[in-house]
Amino acid sequence: MSICESNTFKRVFDKYSETIRNFIYYKCGDLEKAEDLTQEAFIKLWNNCAKVLLDKAKSFLFTVANNLFLNDYAHEKVILQHRKLITIDQNTETPQFIIEEEEFKQKLKNAIANLTSAQREVFLLNRIDKKTYKEIAVIVGISEKAVEKRMHNALVNLRKEIKNHI
């Protein structure tokens, strides 16, 4: 099966595009950019479809997206402030409980924004995209052990940061 066949290409897109978009978003905090770079990574995959084997498509995409991000990031001079984007599931608890929970979530979100991008991407790929450490290791291109360390440190830092703001 070749990626040059449009059905195969579509399947690859369906399978990985959302994770790539989230992965880049966790790095830069800019959703538009994350979606642009994801698209660009797939254009590159399409242009190289004859050279990239199907089982290498995933690592090709993540590597390309990451490189695009790094280059873009290095040239970017003006970035003001990147707003939000992570919203929260609605729940149906009692009002007071919701208020406290929302307050805590706000603190958590601020603390997440203050993580290093290396820790943030591991933490959010696990918490939001429900990726296993093994999967994250492939996406980020580090060992599984290194993923666990980053996850551990992310949690330590989040707790510290949240505590500092109480």
Q: What residues numbered 21-50 form the site for another protein, per CB under 8 A?
A: 21-22, 25, 28-33, 35-36, 38-39, 42-43, 46
Calculate the alpha carbon distances from 126 to 46, 81, 102 in Å.
Answer: 29, 25, 21
- Distance CA(113)–CA(82), nearest Å, equals 10
Nearest residue (CB) to another protein, 63 versus 161: 161
DSSP states along 2-20: -TTSHHHHHHHHHHHHHHH
Nearest residue (CB) to another protein, 43 versus 53: 43
Member of 59, 71, 116, 143 binding another protein (CB under 8 A): 116
Q: What residues numbered 76-105 form the site for another protein, per CB under 8 A?
A: 76, 78-89, 91, 101, 104-105
Residue 56 is given by DSSP the state G
**Nearest distance, CB of residue 145 and another protein, angstroms:** 7
Does residue 110 belong to the site contacting another protein (CB under 8 A)? Answer: yes
- Axis-axis angle for helices 95-113, 144-164 (nearest 10): 120
Q: Is the dihedral of CA 152, 65, 27, 16 positive or negative?
A: negative
Q: What residues numbered 121-160 form the site for another protein, per CB under 8 A?
A: 123-124, 126-128, 132-133, 145, 147-153, 155-160
